[in-house]
Structure formats: C-alpha cells, structure tokens
C-alpha cells in the first residue's frame, strides 16, 4: 500500500505544481513550477515500471527543453532594468514551495532506490525491451522523428538568426 | 514481499486527463506567448503520461516508444515556437498575443 501512497503523493505534487505554473504572473516562477511538475511525472513513470522513460523525462523534458525556455527568458531581458526586475522577482520566499516539493520528490526517489528491486510495480519494462522494440518494428518512426528534429533545427536556426541580425541593426 | 501492488490505470489516466485540461485552460486563458508555449508543453507531457500508464498496464514497450516520439515532437515544437516568439518580440515589442492578432497589425 505504500507504493500507492507514493503514487498519490507524486500525482498530487504534479497537479498542484501544474496549476501553480499555469497561474503564475511571472514566467520564471511558472518555469520553476513546470520543472517540478515534470520531475513528479518522472517519479510516476518510475513507479509504474518505466525507468527509461523516467530518465528521458528528467534529461530531455526537465533538462533540455526547459533550458531552452530559460535561454529565451534570458534573451528577452538583456538590459540592467531587466536585471533589477529579476532581482525583485527572485525573492527567497518564492523558493519555499518549490523547495518543499523538490524535497518531497527527493525523499520519494531516495526511498524507492533504497528499496531496490523489492519495489516491483506490476510489469517492469526495462530499457532493453524498449530499445529492441524501438529499432525493430518502430525503426520507421525513428526515421520520421529524426526528420522532424532536423526540420525543427532548421526552422529554429532560421528564425533565431533573423532575430539576432535585426537586434544588431536596431542597436547600431 | 511477494505481493505485487499495481497502480490503478484509471487513476493514472485521470491524472493525465486533468493535466491535459490544465494545459488546455492555460492555452486558452493566458495571453503571454511564453506561458502559452509552456501550457502546450504541459499538454504534450500529459499525453506522454497517458501513453506510459497504458503501456505499463499491459506490460508492453510501445507506450514508452510513443512517449519518445512525443518527446521528439515537443523538442521540435518548442524550438520553432521559441524562434517565432523571438520574431514576435522583435516586431511587436511585447509578448502579448492579443497585439499580434492581425497579420499586418
């Protein structure tokens, strides 16, 4: 029954932090709550028996994609006035709720890892099964995903390059 | 410890549906483009959660593969979306999407 309690705790953290992320006025605070929501989703993935997807969720979603948002927020306020605004926004009391959620999630993952293999939740589908399936019947989907990522790369390069050149013309 | 506790699939799907609804509400209510993109991320992540929960219920790897494809879609979508956000910012000077409602505004 403790496993179910872990699941409902992670689900509750995910719901609350997602609601907080959507309702924040400040984009930086929304980003923090969104990252916590994704970390809670990763815990749920681990709990239902998908450890590889949990790792991908942390590395790609909470890592790479959220870093893109952070870069854009950094690019949008490059001036000293923006720095002053950031300083006003990032007060210590803003960190209480995210830190609390993160501590709860950390306690959950520590408990799960200390339990080891005893925490078997239904059907565990490991990375090996996923990889065999991915490069077996689904190899065409992998190719389509690679083309999609190439298109995203080219599009982002095109749009971002024009932004930088126009910004340079505007300042000079 | 031989008993295997299975998380009910319905609760996982309910969580995914609620997360998707929160993301949808965010897309419809918020007027900041950055927040709209974040809400789109929430919706995609909720879809991935639904796939993972269903795949784990039947012990198949297909759910995780669909999650990986959703991950690729999210990465491509957010990179292009943020590039367009930068274009809107340089042309209109704000992130309010209501001011970008006309093609030649």
Task: List pLDDT tens digits, range A51-100.
Answer: 899 999 999 999 999 999 988 888 887 666 667 777 776 777 778 888 88
pLDDT confidence band for A50 (50 / 70 / 90): confident
CB pairs under 8 A between A and B: 191
Q: What torsion, rounded to 10 degrees, do the Cα atoms A144, A148, A150, A152 define?
A: 180
Dihedral pair phi/psi, residue A77, rounded to 5°:
-120, 90
DSSP B55-73: HHHTT-SHHHHHHHHHHHH
Q: What is the mean pLDDT of residues B33-62?
A: 91
Measured between alpha carbons, how far is A164 from A168 in angstroms, rounded to an integer?
6
Q: Which residue of A has its CA nearest to B54?
A: A48
pLDDT confidence band for A146 (50 / 70 / 90): very high
Q: Are B79 and B56 in contact (CB under 8 A)?
A: no
Joined tokens for residue B65: 């593969």
Roughly how many angstroms between the first and final C-alpha of chain B, as a whole number? 66
Joined tokens for residue A84: 């002053």
pLDDT given at position A149: 94
Each residue of A113-133: pLDDT tens digit? Answer: 887 665 556 677 888 888 898
Sign of dihedral through CA atoms B73, A33, B29, B104?
negative
What stretches of chain A show up as alpha helix (H) in DSSP?
A: 2-23, 27-47, 51-56, 66-76, 80-89, 96-115, 127-134, 139-171
Measured between alpha carbons, how far is B49 from A44 in angstroms, rounded to an integer?
9
Higher-confidence residue of A113 and A13: namely A13
Judged by CB atoms closer than 8 Å, whether chains meet at B23 and A152 is answered as no
Contacts of A96 (CB under 8 A, 6+ apart): none
pLDDT confidence band for A5 (50 / 70 / 90): confident
Measured between alpha carbons, how far is A118 from A108 in angstroms, rounded to an integer?
15
Q: Which residue of A has its CA nearest to B93?
A: A76
Q: What is the mean pLDDT of residues A33-54?
A: 91
Query: B26 vs A19, A55, B14, B81, CA distance in Å?
Result: 9, 27, 18, 16
pLDDT given at position B1: 39
Judged by CB atoms closer than 8 Å, whether chains meet at B71 and A44 is answered as no
- Total-model pTM: 0.87
Q: Which of A88-97, B17-26, B48-57 has the lowest mean pLDDT?
A: A88-97
pLDDT given at position B26: 92
Judged by CB atoms closer than 8 Å, whether chains meet at A34 and B38 is answered as yes
Measured between alpha carbons, how far is A164 from A172 in angstroms, rounded to an integer?
12
Higher-confidence residue of A123 and A139: namely A139
Q: Are A102 and A28 in contact (CB under 8 A)?
A: no
pLDDT given at position B67: 93
pLDDT given at position A78: 63
Q: Does B21 touch chain A (CB under 8 A)?
A: no
Dihedral pair phi/psi, residue A49, rounded to 5°:
100, 35
- The mean predicted confidence, pLDDT, of chain A is 85
pLDDT given at position B4: 59
CA B26 to chain A, closest CA, distance in angstroms equals 6
- The mean predicted confidence, pLDDT, of chain B is 86
Joined tokens for residue A132: 């065999």
> Is the model's pLDDT at B78 over the cut of 60?
yes
- Name every chain A residue with its beta carbon within 8 A of the beta carbon of B77: 152
Judged by CB atoms closer than 8 Å, whether chains meet at B86 and A64 is answered as no
Measured between alpha carbons, how far is B10 from A125 in angstroms, rounded to an integer?
19
Q: Is B1 exposed, middle or buried (0-12, 13-18, 19+ CB in 10 A)?
A: exposed
Higher-confidence residue of A157 and B99: namely A157
Which among A60, A123, A167 has CB closest to B59?
Answer: A123
Q: What is the mean pLDDT of residues A143-156?
A: 93
């Amino acid at each position: 029954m403790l496993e179910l309690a872990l699941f409902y705790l992670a689900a509750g953290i995910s719901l609350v932090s997602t609601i907080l992320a959507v309702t924040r006025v400040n984009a930086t605070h929304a980003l923090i709550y969104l990252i916590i929501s994704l970390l809670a989703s990763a815990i749920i993935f681990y709990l239902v028996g998908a450890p590889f997807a949990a790792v991908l969720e942390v590395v790609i979603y909470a890592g790479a994609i959220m870093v893109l948002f952070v870069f854009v927020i950094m690019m949008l306020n490059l001036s000293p006035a923006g720095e002053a605004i950031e300083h006003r926004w990032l007060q210590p009391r803003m960190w209480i709720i995210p830190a609390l959620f993160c501590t709860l999630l950390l306690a959950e993952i520590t408990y799960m890892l200390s339990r080891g293999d005893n925490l078997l939740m239904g059907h565990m589908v490991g990375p090996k099964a996923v990889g065999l399936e991915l490069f077996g019947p689904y190899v065409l989907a992998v190719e389509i995903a690679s083309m999609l990522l190439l298109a995203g790369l080219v599009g982002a390069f095109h749009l971002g390059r024009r932004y930088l050149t126009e910004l340079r013309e505007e300042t000079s | 410890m031989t008993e295997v506790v299975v998380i009910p699939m319905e609760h996982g799907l309910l969580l995914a549906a609620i997360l998707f609804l929160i993301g949808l509400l965010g897309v419809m209510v918020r007027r900041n483009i950055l927040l709209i993109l974040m809400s789109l991320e929430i919706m995609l992540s909720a879809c991935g959660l639904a796939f993972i929960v269903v795949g784990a219920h039947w012990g198949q790897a297909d759910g995780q593969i669909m999650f990986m494809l959703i991950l690729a879609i999210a990465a491509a979508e957010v990179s292009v979306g943020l590039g367009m956000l930068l274009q809107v910012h340089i042309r209109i000077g704000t992130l309010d999407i209501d001011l970008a409602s006309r093609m030649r505004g």
